[in-house]
Amino acid sequence: MLALLLEAYEYFLANQSRFWAAATQHVWISSAALLIGTAIGLPVGIWAARRAHAGQWAINAFGALRLIPSLAVLFLAQPYLGIGALPALVALTLLAVPPVLIAAYAGVRNVDRGVSEAARGMGMTAAQILWRVELPLALPSIVGGVRSAAVEVIASATLAAFIGGGGLGIFITRGYALFDTRIMLVGAIPVALLALTVELALALVQRRLSSNAGMAA
């Protein structure tokens, strides 16, 4: 195994320019999909939490997206958007929305109604209750959703190479096509490290927010 890792490192040294270009593209497309997915999922999740019947329908509809394999989402987008970064971005955004939406919904719904009623009794408007009471208490759950979405998007972005979306997946697909494990490792190891780093960083943020929310409660 050590010899294989050394061979992969040698391949990386010989192809650094291609590697860094692919890594930059991987980070860019993952970050963009996560930001757009959060921008969509967060307000829809909050809206769903405040409307019981319509909200449950929205949760079920978006939750169903999580059952579709990542590669299937990419290939479903390809006939309509062609190949390249755009269909990959759209498909990854669709993968990012459900975890954020469901986490926002659960976070707001699980806020103690007594706290909200107390804020209302103090004269706060619905908007003030949302921004000053419910969202701060729901923030740990929301960050947990973003954390889940981030890991899923970073890992799934490797599949963008199948439709010309670039990213570190090009090394994995090339290695697979050539039956060359060292090339696959040049793509797989950085993706795993990136996903692990983001997972640990957001887990730390979530833990700290949970502690703050607990003290506030």
Q: What pLDDT band is residue 174 in, cutting at 50, 70 and 90? A: very high
- Position with higher pLDDT, 22 vs 209: 22
Q: Are 63 and 179 in contact (CB under 8 A)?
A: no
What pLDDT is stored for residue 84 in this prediction? Answer: 77
What pLDDT is stored for residue 77 in this prediction? Answer: 72
Q: Are 191 and 206 in contact (CB under 8 A)?
A: no
CA 199 vs CA 64, 104, 153: distances in Å: 24, 18, 12
Instruction: Report how far residue 202's alpha carbon sits from residue 196's, in angstroms, rounded to the nearest whole number.
Output: 10
Tell me what the mean pLDDT of segment 3-17 comes to.
90
Q: Please tell me the pTM assigned to this model.
A: 0.87
What pLDDT is stored for residue 129 in this prediction? Answer: 80
Q: If you average pLDDT over every residue of the chain, what do you get? A: 86
What pLDDT is stored for residue 147 in this prediction? Answer: 96
Q: Are 202 and 211 in contact (CB under 8 A)?
A: no
- Classified by CATH at the fold level, domain 2-216 comes out as MetI-like fold (1.10.3720)
Map out the domains of the chain as residue ranges.
2-216
Closest CA to 193 of 23, 62, 53: 23
Closest CA to 108 of 63, 150, 51, 165: 51
What is the signed CA dihedral for 50, 51, 57, 63, rounded to 10 degrees? 0
Report the range of poorest mean pLDDT among 102-106, 186-190, 210-214: 210-214
Token couple for 19: 């590697």
What pLDDT is stored for residue 125 in this prediction? Answer: 77
What pLDDT is stored for residue 49 in this prediction? Answer: 85
CA 203 vs CA 26, 77, 195: distances in Å: 22, 31, 12
CA 6 vs CA 23, 144, 186: distances in Å: 20, 36, 11
Q: Are 34 and 95 in contact (CB under 8 A)?
A: no
Instruction: Give the pLDDT confidence of 197-214 residue by residue, as tens digits.
Output: 999 999 999 999 888 765
Q: What pLDDT band is residue 52 in, cutting at 50, 70 and 90? A: low
Q: What is the largest CA-CA distance in the chain?
A: 69
Q: Taking 80 as the threshold, does the pLDDT of residue 16 lie above it?
A: yes
Tell me what the mean pLDDT of segment 183-205 comes to.
95
Instruction: Report how far residue 49's alpha carbon sits from residue 13's, in angstroms, rounded to the nearest whole number.
Output: 51
Q: What pLDDT band is residue 184 in, cutting at 50, 70 and 90? A: very high
> What percent of the chain clears pLDDT 70, i.e. is strictly above it?
94
Q: Taking 60 as the threshold, does the pLDDT of residue 38 lie above it?
A: yes
Closest CA to 10 of 129, 187, 182, 126: 182
Residue 128, CB half-sphere, CA atoms under 13 Å: how many?
9
